[in-house]
Chain A
Amino acid sequence: MIRFLVKRVAQAVVVLLLVSVIVFVLLHLLPGGPARAILGVKATPESIAHFNHQQGYDRSLPQQYVMYLGRLLTGDLGESYKLNQSVTSLLAERLPKTALLAGLSIALAAVLAVPLGVLQAVRRGKAADYLLTGAAFLAYATPVFFLGLVLILVFSQQLQIFPAEAPQADTVGGLLADAPALVLPVVTTALGIIAAFSRYMRSAVLDNLEEDYVRTARAKGQSSARVMARHVLRNALIPLATLLGLYLPTLFSGTLVVESMFNYPGMGLLFWNAAQGSDFPVLLGVTLVVGVATVLGSLITDIAYAVLDPRIRSVS
């Protein structure tokens, strides 16, 4: 376990460094280099040269990278030149809100997907299974924004149950206070994940039902329901932790689209607005933070998996 943890953390650190390298490379791919991106299109060559010298952008790339990394470690992600605010403070404002959206979506997905998957496995080859399989395929193929538009048309325009715009509060508590406005963004984000997780649960339960230990459990006189609850579910649920880690990038991509559609005041909206206005410090800052969040998230889910699975937990 210790060995596994050390190895896994070391791997995460390497990946984190590489993520920073990728963002660093993107910074240098910007038209006119970092100076043009940061000073804006109207900057004169003199001011650019001055800026480059001042910021050390005239040194060798490895040196620049070390400086860049140093700034990252002190929490300096640069200044937004559209919002006149440091990227770090912008992120500090927006990150918790995106975390709320993502967290609620994951919770909804888990609550719905596990029973749906089990239902499909138990009713394999029956109408319910085919129906849900079809729905999952449809959900896979539906772009998040199209789904969001359809939900808005139906639940906001026609039925007028939920508002089409997300809550516009400054705090997480404020967002939660306006729960009806959260419904459409959360459902839109969650649906693809529900499809994926329920498909996983279906096949995991079916696989586990084929295992020898299920036959042993039945040979003890257990009912199917008890075999499912006591034996199969436990073994099928543990790998769900790693699957969650694998789905983090998809989840974040989803929040990007959902936030820009529903005008949800999170990191995704910040990012989208920055893209429209070529606000590169914000774009790259968000990209870096999302990358770091994904790496840390999958590290946590991997560790959770190791803790949950006794086969990994108790080895050395």
Chain B
Amino acid sequence: MTAPFMDAPSSDRTAPAVDPAAPGPAPAAPGPLRRTLAAFTRNKLALTGAFVLLGLLALCYLGPLLHPTDQTHTDLSQASLPPGSPGHLLGTTDLGHDMLGRLMYGGQTSLEVGLAAGLLATLFGTVYGAVAGYFGGWADAAMMRVTDAALAIPALFLLVVVAAIVTPSKPVLILIIASVAWLSPARLIRGEALALRGRDYVHAMRLMGGGGTRAVFRHILPGAVGTVIVNATFQVADAILYVAYLSFLGLSIPPPAADWGSMLSAGITYTQVGHWWLIFPPGLAIVLVVAAFNFLGDGLRDAFDVRLRKS
């Protein structure tokens, strides 16, 4: 909320100053990338997030190789088995699908749509926000009012309306979610671009005769790259949640396709009879993957901030 307090005259005290009298060349300082990486690996939560994600990816994509299941045909003889049943570690659904296999299969959809939509939204939002922020003035005002209006309509309502208009397939679902999710990165990057444009080092570059291209590519974009990457992780987390919400509301890719949200939705009716194993595996999987992306994003934010904070 506020900048860390630091009074001007204290700069001499806190800086690990170079001794101008030191003989010989100083050892090269590590570059920003290496420092970012070092800071990231020091953050235990972020590392945990990264490992959890790797684990989930392995489960969803390598898991089916070790534990092949049939997720298209129903087998009522095997319906609604509790966890621990022979051959069905997590039990089966009301239609006889193996829960563990379904979790892997549904996870593929959730992760693919989430990643693709989150990245697409970040990409479009970044370009839109950077353009608005760099040009400023009327263009900025007009572009930002549009995002204001779109943000005023809660995302879920927009998603539901769009999903009700078109029948989603995987690519369509990605586009639908991205078409709503780009708004917040657009605003964020626009603010970042505006702030960076006013920095003294950009003024300094202009005074050397440098132009807009150089300002954008050498100073503004590298300055914003941390923000963009951090935001992308949060966007992916949000997109995974959106997929789940849409599926839960019955507006996602129609069966027999599955994802974690639709698995939960299918399980609701059976909560009455105590089939808890239909709810918890997909629910916890969503919580786990979203939390992992959030931890990753937090860790990255700290890592990217590190060089600025230590100044």
A271-B160 in contact given A15-B149, A19-B149, A153-B271 (Cβ < 8 Å): yes
Residue contact A249 to B152, C-beta cutoff 8 Å: yes
Chain B residues with Cβ below 8 Å from A21 are: 149
Chain A residues with Cβ below 8 Å from B267 are: 149
A275-B145 in contact given A141-B237, A211-B5, A212-B5 (Cβ < 8 Å): no
A152 touches which of B158, B271, B283 (Cβ 8 Å): B271
- Chain B interface, DSSP helix/strand/loop, else mixed: helix
Binding-face segment, B36-44, B197-205, B289-297: B289-297
Chain A residues with Cβ below 8 Å from B152 are: 15, 19, 249, 291, 294-295, 298
Residue contact A149 to B291, C-beta cutoff 8 Å: no
Residue contact B279 to A153, C-beta cutoff 8 Å: yes
A203-B287 in contact given A14-B145, A15-B145, A152-B271 (Cβ < 8 Å): no
Docked pose: A180 CA to B246 CA in angstroms: 29
CB within 8 Å: A-B pair count = 152
A157-B274 in contact given A203-B1, A260-B249 (Cβ < 8 Å): yes
Chain B residues with Cβ below 8 Å from A143 are: 241, 244-245, 248, 261, 283, 286-287
* Any B CB within 8 A of the CB of A68: no
Docked pose: A22 CA to B241 CA in angstroms: 24
* Any B CB within 8 A of the CB of A145: yes
Residue contact A26 to B161, C-beta cutoff 8 Å: yes
Give the Cβ gap from A98 to chain B, nearest Cβ, in Å. 12
Give the Cβ gap from B118 to chain A, nearest Cβ, in Å. 15
Residue contact B164 to A291, C-beta cutoff 8 Å: no
Chain B residues with Cβ below 8 Å from A256 are: 154, 156-157, 160
How many chain A residues touch B (Cβ–Cβ < 8 Å)? 58
Residue contact A283 to B161, C-beta cutoff 8 Å: yes
**Contact indicator per residue, chain B 154-170, by CB within 8 Å of chain A (1) or not (0):** 11111011111110000
* Any B CB within 8 A of the CB of A31: yes
B249 touches which of A142, A257, A290, A295 (Cβ 8 Å): A257
CB proximity to A under 8 Å, residues B149-206? 149-158, 160-166
Residue of B2, B157, B164 most packed against chain A (CB within 10 A): B157
A287-B161 in contact given A138-B291, A146-B283 (Cβ < 8 Å): yes
Residue contact A275 to B249, C-beta cutoff 8 Å: yes
B294 touches which of A29, A140, A212, A253 (Cβ 8 Å): A140
B287 touches which of A142, A207, A261, A283 (Cβ 8 Å): A142
Give the Cβ gap from B285 to chain A, nearest Cβ, in Å. 10
Chain B residues with Cβ below 8 Å from A152 are: 271
**Contact indicator per residue, chain B 3-18, by CB within 8 Å of chain A (1) or not (0):** 0110000000000000
Docked pose: A19 CA to B151 CA in angstroms: 9
Interface residues of B (CB under 8 A from A): 1-2, 4-5, 145-146, 148-158, 160-166, 237, 241, 244-245, 248-251, 261, 264-265, 267-268, 271-272, 274, 276, 279, 283, 286-288, 290-291, 294-295
Interface residues of A (CB under 8 A from B): 11, 14-16, 18-19, 21-23, 26, 29-31, 137-138, 140-146, 149-150, 152-153, 157, 203-204, 207, 210-212, 239, 248-250, 252-253, 256-257, 260-261, 271-272, 275-276, 278, 280, 283-284, 286-287, 290-291, 294-295, 298
Instruction: Rank and list the top 8 A-B pairs by shortest CB-CB distance, nearest first.
Output: A18-B149, A253-B156, A141-B291, A141-B290, A249-B154, A146-B283, A291-B153, A252-B154
Q: List 7 A-B contacts (CB under 8 A).
A: A15-B148, A18-B150, A142-B286, A142-B290, A253-B156, A280-B164, A286-B157
